[in-house]
């Protein structure tokens, strides 16, 4: 029985070690700014899922604020030559940076509209505004996001 616990513990340790090595090797290939963009994109994704599941406007406010704050930060994270093969950001971002910047501003405006609609406590109005946020995400992703990077 004791040997089974030792073997099981060893398997867990090896698994955790290998998973951390894999994660570190993937993350090691990204620049600091790419990692920061990924962090904010994940925050956006999580906030969007929370809003999508919300059954009342009360539950929509905090994730909407996360979207607004994340978008403001993301607008600053696209300096020239910050793309690369290890990121989903397509080179078209920097080739069309003015259009990309406009799309980021549209995202921020749509999220602000969502925040205003939430204050009216009308879930139907808020969900409609939320769809507007989703459309801004899609408009950017269609043009500027590549396939997942292994």
Contact 130, 51 (CB under 8 A): yes
Which tokens in the block code for residue 138? Answer: 């899609």
* 10 plus 35 within the same structural domain: no
Which tokens in the block code for residue 148? Answer: 């997942």
Note the pLDDT tens digit of each residue in 56-115.
999 999 999 999 999 999 999 999 999 988 899 999 999 999 999 999 999 999 999 999
* 20 plus 74 within the same structural domain: no
Question: What is the percent of the chain where pLDDT is above 70?
Answer: 81
Q: Taking the CB of residue 74, how many other CB atoms lie within 10 A of it?
A: 19
* 103 plus 48 within the same structural domain: yes
Residues 50 and 45: their CA atoms lie apart, in Å, by 9
Residue whose tokens read 């078209």: 92
Round the average pLDDT of the chain to a whole number and report it: 85
Which residues on adjacent β-strands are paired with residue 145? 89
* 39 plus 62 within the same structural domain: yes
The answer to whether residue 86 sits within a structural domain is yes
* 69 plus 23 within the same structural domain: no
What's residue 17's pLDDT? Answer: 46
Note the pLDDT tens digit of each residue in 13-61.
444 444 443 333 344 588 999 999 999 999 999 999 999 999 999 999 9
* 21 plus 56 within the same structural domain: no
Q: How many domains does the chain have?
A: 2
Q: Taking the CB of residue 60, how many other CB atoms lie within 10 A of it?
A: 25
* 26 plus 91 within the same structural domain: no
- Average pLDDT of the residues in 6-11: 43
Whole-model pTM: value is 0.77
Q: Give the residue from 120, 110, 107 showing the smallest Cα distance to 58.
A: 120
The residue range of the domain holding 6 is 1-30
- Average pLDDT of the residues in 129-140: 96
DSSP collapsed to 3 states, 114-149 = HHHHHHCCCHHHHHHHHHHHHHHHHHHHHHHECCCC
What's residue 2's pLDDT? Answer: 55
* 46 plus 67 within the same structural domain: yes
Residues 37 and 9: their CA atoms lie apart, in Å, by 36
Q: What is the CATH number of the domain that holds 87?
A: 1.20.120.10
* 40 plus 23 within the same structural domain: no
* 40 plus 92 within the same structural domain: yes
């Amino acid at each position: 029985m004791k040997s089974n616990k030792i073997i099981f513990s060893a398997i867990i340790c090896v698994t955790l070690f290998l998973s951390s090595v894999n994660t570190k090797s993937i993350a090691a290939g990204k620049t600091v700014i790419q990692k920061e963009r990924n962090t904010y994109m994940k925050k956006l994704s999580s906030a969007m899922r929370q809003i999508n599941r919300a059954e009342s406007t009360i539950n929509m406010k905090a994730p909407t604020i996360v979207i607004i704050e994340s978008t403001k930060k993301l607008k600053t994270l696209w300096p020239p030559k910050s793309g690369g093969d290890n990121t989903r950001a397509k080179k078209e971002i920097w080739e069309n940076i003015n259009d990309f910047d406009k799309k980021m501003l549209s995202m921020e405006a749509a999220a602000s509209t969502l925040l205003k609609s939430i204050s009216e406590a009308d879930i139907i109005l808020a969900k409609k505004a939320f769809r507007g946020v989703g459309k801004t995400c899609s408009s950017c992703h269609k043009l500027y996001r590549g396939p997942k990077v292994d």
